[in-house]
Every structure is written in structure tokens, then in C-alpha cells.
């Protein structure tokens, strides 16, 4: 994780592009890679780590 | 006063809710349901909270965690009983029917052959849905007997016990749209109209949303539906039936609203959080651990 002028960033695990957060993300937070469109999940805050977000489960919903 | 907010994935909705708590100057602790280990004999780990706001995506997590926390005497929002009713289309139908709230006609069968009979009773076209599911998943419109046989055979082949419940609903020839009403403490606060060329008018399936001015009829019906299921916070989906008027199609206990804030001009997360804080304030800490 690197922090520059309050931008927090980590590499997209799909395409290695930089994914930026304007504030500290929480575990489980969802982001989308602007470069490849992959849906990503924050799995560790320090150091910031992103993984591909899990597919929708059968019992998920609103 | 302390509130925990359960989540599975921290989506835009959950971020907006956390921001709303922050704006209200309120301390809330987000808890990832995947990190939770519960000791049903010991409520101590949860005694610091006055209420738990459930925003889990996973119905299984919501219900199982909710049952344990409520056994500790904690106030869960929505109550697990309401979540159980809203998340199960058959239980929703039962609650609405018992409360006299208009809803599409339904038949339920537990055998493929009986399911064909159920579709025949409802008439073509009919809609077959899983009793548990969201975002329009595995919802099928059946236009004729051939399609009924195919859909029912495929459902049986899925092999899941859950898919063995054939929930057959009257198809409502709606005018290419449905209504979603956001309800807080049985009071409708906003509504959108969802329009699609597809017969499934779900924004998760690409329907477009626009503001819908609440009418007296919509307010009364949505409030009745909310009361019928006992929800603190709920989104009520309404269908406009050419023959029967407005019908309650389903209720959503953990509503999505990211695209409805600007659309309606209503601070939906602020209103949801406001109600959660009200409930937590009315509960206090004395009851934790006091229930059987």
C-alpha cells in the first residue's frame, strides 16, 4: 500500500492497474477496477490487498 | 448508545449508511459477518450494543446471526421474523393474504407433476419463482404447456430441495413497469417507478428508475404491507394490475437504494439510519442477555 496526498492505492489482481481509494477502505469494501472492470474486494487493510470479489451466492439478495 | 452494523460486502449502500451514521454524529461498528463466531450461551461479546443493524447480503447469515442475537435480548433491525417472512416468497404471500393485503394469486406444489397442475390452475402465462432468491434470479414466465414442462423438468434437475418448492404466481400484465416504495417504520418515504422492455422490471436486470410521486393509495398499501411483515425498514414492490389495481408483489428487508437517492430527492440512507438510531435509543442496554 502506498499513500500519496491522501490517495490510497493497490494493484488490481486481474490486470495490475492501480486501484485508488480516496479514503481508507474497510475490509469487505467493494471497488471496481477502472482499467479492466473487475469487481474487487478489500481483503486486508494493512497492507491494502484486493482480491476478485466473490460471485453472487445463492442466498444473497435484498 | 452503540450500534453494530452487520455486512457481507461493503457496497455503496453500506458506505452511504456508515456516512449517514457519521453525519448523525453517531458511533456505529461495522462487522463483517464472515468474522463472527457466536457463543449461544454467552452474550457478553455483544453486550456493548444497544441494537444491531443487519445489512448482510447473505440471508443465511442474517437469519442465523439474528436468531442468536435476539436470544440475547438484542434488538435486531429488521427483526429476524420480518427477514424470514420477506425473504421467503411463500411466507410473504401468507402474511399478505392473512392481513388482507392484495397480492397476485399463487399456487404452491411440491412435486413436478403437481406443479404442472398448479400452472394449469393459475393459467397461462404464469410465473414460477424460487421461494428464496433475489434480483430476479431463476424467475421464469411460462407461456404454454410445453414451456411449463421444460421449466419444471429443469427445476427438478437442479437437485436442490429448495428448487423442489414450486411457487407459481399469476402473471400480472403490468404496463411495462412496477413501483418500489421505500418504507420506514410503516411510513412510505419515497418511491420509484422501474421501467423495462423486459417483463422482469428489476433494476438488477437493467430496468430504468424514475421518481414516483406517492399517492394516497400507494402509501396506504405499502404501509399495510410493511405492517403485515413486521418490518422496521422495507422496500415494497407493487404491480399495477389492469383488473385488480395495485398488488403487493414482494418486500425487501435489506433494500438497495444507491440509484434512488438522486432519483427521488430523498435522503434514503439518512432516513434509514435515523430510524435505527431511534430504535437503539428506545431499547437501552438493560435488555441484553435478559431474554431466553
Q: Distance between CA B4 and CA B10 in Å, rounded?
A: 14
Q: Residue B147: give its domain's CATH number.
A: 3.30.1490.20
Closest of B58, B109, B66, B115 to residue B87, by C-alpha:
B58
- Indicate the residue of A53, A58, A59 with minimum beta-carbon distance to B9: A53
B243 and B179 share one domain = yes
Structural domain boundaries enclosing B72:
3-78+274-283
- Indicate the residue of B10, B133, B253 with minimum beta-carbon distance to A29: B10
Residue B47 in grid coordinates: 453486550
CA distance A16 to chain B (A): 22
Going B4 to B10 to B255 to B24, the CA torsion angle's sign is positive
Q: Residue B193: give its domain's CATH number.
A: 3.30.470.20
| The total number of residues written for chain B in this structure | 292
Q: How many domains does chain B have?
A: 3
ipTM attached to this prediction = 0.71
Q: What tens digit of pLDDT does each residue of B114-128 get?
A: 999 999 999 999 999
Mutation target to probe the A interface, by most A beta carbons within 10 A, among B13, B59, B83 is B59
- In chain A, the largest separation of any two C-alpha atoms, in whole Å, equals 41
Q: Average pLDDT, stretch B78-106?
A: 98
| B292 inside domain | no
Q: What is the pLDDT of residue B284?
A: 63
- Averaged pLDDT of chain A: 86
Q: What is the pLDDT of residue A4?
A: 44
Decide if B60 and A29 are in contact by the 8 Å CB cutoff.
no
| B89 inside domain | no
Q: How many domains does chain A have?
A: 1
| B83 inside domain | no
Burial class (CB in 10 A: 0-12, 13-18, 19+), B271: buried
Q: Residue A22: give its domain's CATH number.
A: 2.20.28.160
Q: What is the pLDDT of residue B291?
A: 40
B185 and B247 share one domain = yes
Decide if B57 and A61 are in contact by the 8 Å CB cutoff.
yes
Decide if B8 and A29 are in contact by the 8 Å CB cutoff.
no
| B22 inside domain | yes
B145 and B188 share one domain = no
Closest of A3, A44, A4 to residue A13, by C-alpha:
A44
CA distance B165 to chain A (A): 15
Decide if B10 and A62 are in contact by the 8 Å CB cutoff.
no
CA distance B252 to chain A (A): 6
Assign B40 a pLDDT band (cuts: 50, 70, 90): very high
Residue B149 in grid coordinates: 414442462
Out of A22-26, B26-30, B265-269, B284-288, least confident range: B284-288
First to last CA, chain A: 33
Task: Reply yes or no on whether the pLDDT at A57 is more than 90.
Answer: no
Out of A20-24, B80-84, B173-177, the most confident range is B80-84
B18 and B42 share one domain = yes
Chain A residues closer than 8 Å to B35 by CB? 27
| A28 inside domain | yes
Decide if A59 and B60 are in contact by the 8 Å CB cutoff.
yes
| A62 inside domain | no
Chain A residues closer than 8 Å to B32 by CB? 27-28
| A18 inside domain | yes
| B49 inside domain | yes
Q: Distance between CA B104 and CA B172 in Å, rounded?
A: 7
Beta bridge partners, B127, equal B141, B169
Three-class SS of residue A43? strand
Decide if A59 and B253 are in contact by the 8 Å CB cutoff.
no
Q: What is the pLDDT of residue A6?
A: 66
| B86 inside domain | no
DSSP string, B29-74: EEEEGGG----TT--GGGTT-SEEEEE-SBHHHHHHHHHHHHHTT-
Structural domain boundaries enclosing A35:
2-52
Final residue in a domain of this structure, among B149, B170, B191: B170
Residue B261 in grid coordinates: 437517492
| A10 inside domain | yes
DSSP string, B75-144: EEES-HHHHHHHHBHHHHHHHHHHHT-----EEEESSHHHHHHHHHHH-SSEEEE-SB--TTTT-EEE-S
Please indicate if any CB of chain A lies within 8 Å of the CB of B261. no
Q: What is the pLDDT of residue B138?
A: 83
Amino acid at each position: 500500500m502506498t499513500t500519496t496526498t491522501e490517495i490510497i492505492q493497490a494493484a488490481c489482481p486481474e490486470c495490475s492497474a492501480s486501484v485508488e481509494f480516496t479514503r481508507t477502505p474497510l475490509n469487505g469494501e467493494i471497488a471496481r477496477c477502472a482499467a479492466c472492470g473487475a469487481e474487487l474486494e478489500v481483503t486486508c487493510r494493512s497492507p491494502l490487498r484486493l482480491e476478485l470479489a466473490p460471485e453472487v451466492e445463492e442466498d444473497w439478495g435484498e | 448508545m452503540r450500534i453494530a452494523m452487520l455486512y457481507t460486502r461493503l457496497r455503496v449502500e453500506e458506505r452511504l449508511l456508515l456516512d449517514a451514521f457519521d453525519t448523525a454524529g453517531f458511533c456505529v461498528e461495522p462487522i463483517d459477518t464472515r468474522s463472527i463466531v457466536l457463543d449461544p450461551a454467552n452474550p457478553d461479546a455483544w453486550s456493548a450494543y444497544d441494537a444491531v443493524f443487519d445489512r448482510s447480503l447473505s440471508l443465511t447469515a442474517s437469519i442465523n446471526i439474528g436468531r442468536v442475537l435476539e436470544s440475547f435480548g438484542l434488538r435486531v433491525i429488521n427483526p429476524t421474523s420480518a427477514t424470514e417472512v420477506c425473504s421467503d416468497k411463500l411466507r410473504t404471500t401468507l402474511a399478505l393474504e392473512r392481513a388482507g393485503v392484495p397480492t397476485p394469486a399463487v399456487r404452491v406444489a411440491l412435486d413436478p407433476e403437481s406443479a404442472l397442475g398448479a400452472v394449469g390452475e393459475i393459467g397461462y402465462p404464469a410465473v414460477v419463482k424460487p421461494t428464496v432468491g433475489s434480483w430476479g434470479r431463476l424467475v421464469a414466465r411460462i407461456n404454454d404447456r410445453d414451456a411449463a414442462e421444460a421449466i419444471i423438468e429443469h427445476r427438478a434437475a437442479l437437485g436442490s430441495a429448495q428448487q423442489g418448492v414450486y411457487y407459481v404466481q399469476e402473471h400480472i400484465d403490468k404496463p411495462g413497469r412496477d413501483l418500489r416504495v421505500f418504507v420506514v417504520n410503516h411510513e412510505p418515504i419515497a418511491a420509484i417507478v422501474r421501467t423495462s422492455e423486459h417483463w422482469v422490471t428489476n433494476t438488477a436486470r437493467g430496468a430504468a428508475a424514475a421518481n414516483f410521486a406517492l399517492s394516497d393509495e400507494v402509501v396506504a398499501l405499502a404501509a399495510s404491507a410493511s405492517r403485515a411483515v413486521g418490518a422496521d425498514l422495507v422496500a415494497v414492490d407493487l404491480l399495477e394490475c389492469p383488473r385488480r389495481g395495485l398488488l403487493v408483489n414482494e418486500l425487501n428487508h435489506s433494500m438497495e437504494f444507491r440509484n434512488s437517492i438522486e432519483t427521488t430527492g430523498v435522503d434514503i440512507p439518512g432516513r434509514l439510519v435515523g430510524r435505527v438510531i431511534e430504535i437503539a435509543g428506545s431499547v437501552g442496554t438493560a435488555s441484553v442477555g435478559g431474554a431466553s
